[in-house]
Amino acid sequence: SLVVHEFAHAWMAKMFGDNTSEWSGRLTLNPVVHMDPLGTVVFPMISIIFGGIFFGWARPVPIDTRQFRSYRSGLFWVSFAGPLSNLILGFLSAIVFVAFVKFVPQSSSIYGFFNAFLQSLIIWNFSLAIFNLLPIPPLDGSNMVLSFLNYNAAQKFMAIQQFSFFLILFLAFSGAFRILAYPIYFLREVSLAIASMFFGFA
């Protein structure tokens, strides 16, 4: 999910005329090149060992907004591409999950594992999408907001970026992010309902 998220940023940037990610070898689905030692290894391991909220990230792809054919449109769509890719993956995961439940018998040895795996895949993709849409620099949502601001407003808005990492950690470990569960589970239910209709479930 993280790899597809970063690939989507790189691909959309290329569509708007910026080849920086491609030249850097990041326009790829190879997970190794998108790994961040701290965000992809250390923080997830801490979460697994000590419990609590699962937190992590991939290495952001390099983007040069000066190369965009249209700055505002490019900034918006390149930023939105990551969360959008996770929304799409979430819906695709729901379709695969419903198909799995319909066609694979519960007595199968693989049923329990893949049932849990696919349900987790749905939740994690929608979680990544909703989280990254938050308007907190440097999350994707902040750049989407930035695309609508004039220069002075943008400078004031980006001034909070120096505190963003600590703000995100505070919100994560204080439990404030629990409110995000509402849109995440809403998307899960909607995607499962649509997938069920597709396969003819009542």
- Which member of 3, 4, 6, 90 is catalytic? 6
22 part of the active site: no
Q: Is the peptide bond before 137 cis (omega within 30 degrees of 0)?
A: no
Report yes or no: 77 and 88 within 8 Å, Cβ to Cβ: no
Query: Burial code of 184-194, b = ≥16 C-beta within 10 A, e = fewer?
Result: beebbeebbee
Residue 54: phi and psi, rounded to 5, are -85, 120
C-alpha triplet 132, 136, 137: angle, nearest 5°: 95
Calpha distance 31→11 (Å, rounded)? 15
Calpha distance 59→36 (Å, rounded)? 5
User: Catalytic positions, please?
Assistant: 6
